[in-house]
Amino acid sequence: MRVSDINKLVITLTLSLSAHLCLADEVSTYLDSGAPGLPMAQEDPGVFRVCAPKDNLPFSNENGEGFENKIAEVLAKDLGKKLEYFFFYDRQGFYRNTLKANRCDVVIGTAAGADMTLNSKPYYRSGYVFVYKKNSGYDIKDYDSPDLKKAMIGVVGESPPSRPLSDKGLMEHSRPYRMQRDLNLPPSFLIDDLVKGDIDVAVVWGPIGGYFAKKAAADLVVVLAPEYAETNVHGKEYWNISVGVRRKDKERMAMINGALERQKDAINKILDDYGIPHVPVVDEKN
């Protein structure tokens, strides 16, 4: 799931969180798309059309290297469809310019309670993590860990962990990062700063922390942070993740739910191979 989705949903207290752009020769106008008058590809029932950010590892990229790319491949194969992508940057207007503009039909990672999409049964659940160097000697398990009081903490400003950090008086020695990523920086920028020594601890969305820690030059420790929602709802750290489609696409969603169930072992293996921290899905109203 795109981190910007989680951040937006937490702030508003409402959950609304892949090979080249492909348009058919024959186009028409989609008037109820959020992008009136723009051309759209004619839907082919034999094609699994995925909307995805074009440079957003570990989730997706144009080279098909993200874990959501791999999950899309598994689902398309299960359904006997050809996989195609419509890529767009992970920015405001992503859904308006992709799913709602009918240029694609499926978003592989959405928050299970998102109200802008019809969502599948959750296929994984993750939370925020503490990431730090193994040789630091730190032993961080929660927001009361003494080592946090002497560390420079990197955190995305206004993301869920900023609430417990603020409540515990830890923001004074934290370095806030922009919520919307500067596209001049790689998706790994926060973990890169940790490796360089610009920060001592990163508190980041689990898939990002787990994936880039696994690939880092330094030996890093990744620890899931405890859920903070019972203390303060603004600090909710764990989310069920689903596949999203347009709200009217109930038949498509039924097919996807079937594929997710049949391929759950393959999907869990992809998550593990990419170092994505995940815990059992919880039945909740997000």
Quick one: pLDDT band at residue 134, thresholds 50, 70, 90? very high
Q: What angle do CA 69, 25, 84 make, to 5 degrees?
A: 10
pTM confidence score: 0.85
Give the model's pLDDT for residue 43. 74
State mean pLDDT over 135-153.
97
Give the model's pLDDT for residue 34. 45
Cα 90 from Cα 260, distance rounded (Å): 24
CB proximity list for 196: less than 8 A, separation 6 or greater: none
For residue 125, list its beta bridge partners.
240, 279
Q: Over the stretch 222-275, which tens digit does the pLDDT of each residue have?
A: 999 999 999 998 899 999 999 999 999 999 999 999 999 999 999 999 999 999
**Nearest by Cα to 229 from 147, 118, 113, 103:** 113
Cα 197 from Cα 220, distance rounded (Å): 12
Q: Over the stretch 82-95, which tens digit does the pLDDT of each residue have?
A: 999 999 988 788 99
Q: Do domains 3-125+239-273 and 128-235 have the same CATH topology?
A: yes
Chain position carrying tokens 């603020």: 166
Give the model's pLDDT for residue 29. 27
Please measure the distance between the N-terminal and C-terminal CA atoms of the chain and give it in whole angstroms: 15
3-state secondary structure the chain: CCHHHHHHHHHHCCCCCCCCECCCCCEEECCCCCCCCCEEECCCCCEEEEEEECEECCCEECCCCCHHHHHHHHHHHHHCCEEEEEEECCCCCHHHHCCCCCCCCEEEEEECCCCCCEECCCCEEECEEEEEEHHHCCCCCCCCCHHHHHCCEEEECCCCCHHHHHHCCCHHHEEEECCCCCCCCCCCHHHHHHHHCCCCEEEEEHHHHHHHHHHCCCCEEEEECCCCCCCCHHHCCCEEEEEEECCCCHHHHHHHHHHHHHCHHHHHHHHHHCCCCCECCCCCCC
Burial class (CB in 10 A: 0-12, 13-18, 19+), 37: exposed
**Higher pLDDT among residues 216 and 91, named by residue:** 216
- Phi-psi map region of 86: left, alpha, beta (phi>0 left; psi -120 to 50 alpha): beta
Cβ–Cβ < 8 Å for 132, 200? yes
Structural domain spans, the chain? 3-125+239-273, 128-235
Quick one: pLDDT band at residue 185, thresholds 50, 70, 90? confident
For residue 204, list its beta bridge partners.
129
Cis upstream peptide for 280 (omega within 30°) = no
**Tokens coding 133:** 């160097």
Give the model's pLDDT for residue 182. 79
What are the distances in angstroms from CA 193 to CA 187, 213, 234, 277? 12, 12, 26, 21
Give the model's pLDDT for residue 33. 44
CATH architecture designation of domain 128-235: 3-Layer(aba) Sandwich (3.40)
Q: What percent of the chain has pLDDT over 90?
A: 75
pLDDT at 10 over 90: no
Give the model's pLDDT for residue 179. 80
**Average pLDDT of the residues of the chain:** 87
CATH architecture designation of domain 3-125+239-273: 3-Layer(aba) Sandwich (3.40)
pLDDT at 13 over 90: no
Quick one: pLDDT band at residue 285, thresholds 50, 70, 90? low
Q: Over the stretch 18-61, which tens digit does the pLDDT of each residue have?
A: 333 232 222 222 333 444 455 555 678 899 999 999 999 999 99
